[in-house]
């Protein structure tokens, strides 16, 4: 008796780029949310009890990842603030007006600004929705692929069962028919012997 061999079903694989994009967009969304939350939290603390001080520009942003730095004295200690939005035309050695939180001299912003680093807040407001939309699209694509694979594997299981049952039935038919014929021959031979 031959056994029917059915090759295992092959499904198109989903590219790893979908999973990688989902992870990166989730990390970006979380990181930008934390950045925006940190900026808002510092702005609230400064706004609750602002303390004005004079700062001195010690470095200007020159591109390539460098930031402007401003040094200031608060609570009897020297502090440095980086990446503050300075006005155009400011030079090294110029003084700028700063205000820091009364309970945290490290939370500082330029006088008149809402956030210590408005660029970071603007970036968070733009990038977080984009990252969330991208994450949702990737998750929907991954979920649809898994659902399609589950449906196809279920259909292939049914088709395999039917094929195996049909093959077994087809191979077993001659034996069944032959058995019936042999029984008929024996009965007819027995009746002839009685006559």
Residues 73-84: tens digit of each pLDDT: 998 899 999 889
> In this predicted structure, what is the pLDDT of residue 73?
94
Q: Is residue 185 part of a domain?
A: no
Is residue 152 in some structural domain? no
Residue 1: its pLDDT value, please? 46
pLDDT tens profile 121-169: 888 889 999 999 999 999 998 888 888 877 777 666 666 666 665 665 5
Phi and psi for 46 in degrees, rounded to 5? Answer: -65, -45
177 falls within a domain = no
Asked if residue 183 is part of any domain, the answer here is no
Mean pLDDT of 178-192: 55
Gap between the Cα atoms of 58 and 81, Å rounded: 10
Structural domain includes residue 156: no
Query: Which residues are registered as beta bridge partners of 95?
Result: 56
Per-residue pLDDT tens digits for 20-73: 999 999 999 999 999 999 999 999 999 999 999 999 999 998 776 678 899 999
Residue 11 lies in a domain: no
Average pLDDT estimate for 97-114: 93
More confident residue, 92 or 159: 92
Range of the domain at 71: 16-134
Q: Would 192 be classed as within a structural domain? A: no
Would you say the pTM of this structure is higher than 0.95? no
Long-range contacts: 40-47, Cβ < 8 Å, 24+?
40/115, 40/121, 42/101, 42/104, 42/107, 42/109, 42/115, 42/116, 43/109, 43/114, 43/115, 43/116, 45/101, 45/103, 45/104, 45/107, 46/99, 46/100, 46/101, 46/107, 46/108, 46/109, 46/116
Domain tally, the chain = 1
Does 159 reside within a domain? Answer: no
């Amino acid at each position: 008796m031959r056994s029917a061999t059915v090759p295992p079903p092959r499904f198109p694989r989903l590219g790893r780029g979908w999973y990688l994009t989902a992870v990166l967009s989730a990390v970006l969304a979380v990181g930008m949310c934390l950045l925006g939350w940190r900026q808002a939290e510092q702005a609230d603390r400064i706004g609750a009890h602002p303390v004005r001080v004079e700062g001195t520009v010690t470095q200007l942003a020159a591109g390539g990842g460098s930031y402007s730095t401003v040094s200031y004295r608060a609570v009897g200690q020297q502090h440095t603030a980086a990446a503050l939005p300075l006005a155009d035309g400011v030079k090294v050695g110029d003084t700028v007006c700063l205000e820091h939180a009364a309970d945290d001299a490290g939370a500082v912003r330029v006088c008149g600004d809402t956030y210590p680093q408005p660029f970071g807040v603007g970036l968070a407001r733009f990038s977080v929705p984009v990252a969330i939309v991208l994450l949702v699209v990737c998750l929907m694509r991954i979920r649809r692929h898994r659902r399609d694979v589950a449906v196809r594997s279920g259909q292939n299981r049914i088709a395999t069962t039917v094929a195996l049952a049909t093959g077994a039935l087809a191979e077993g038919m001659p034996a069944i028919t032959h058995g019936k014929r042999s029984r008929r021959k024996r009965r007819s031979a027995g009746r002839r012997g009685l006559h």
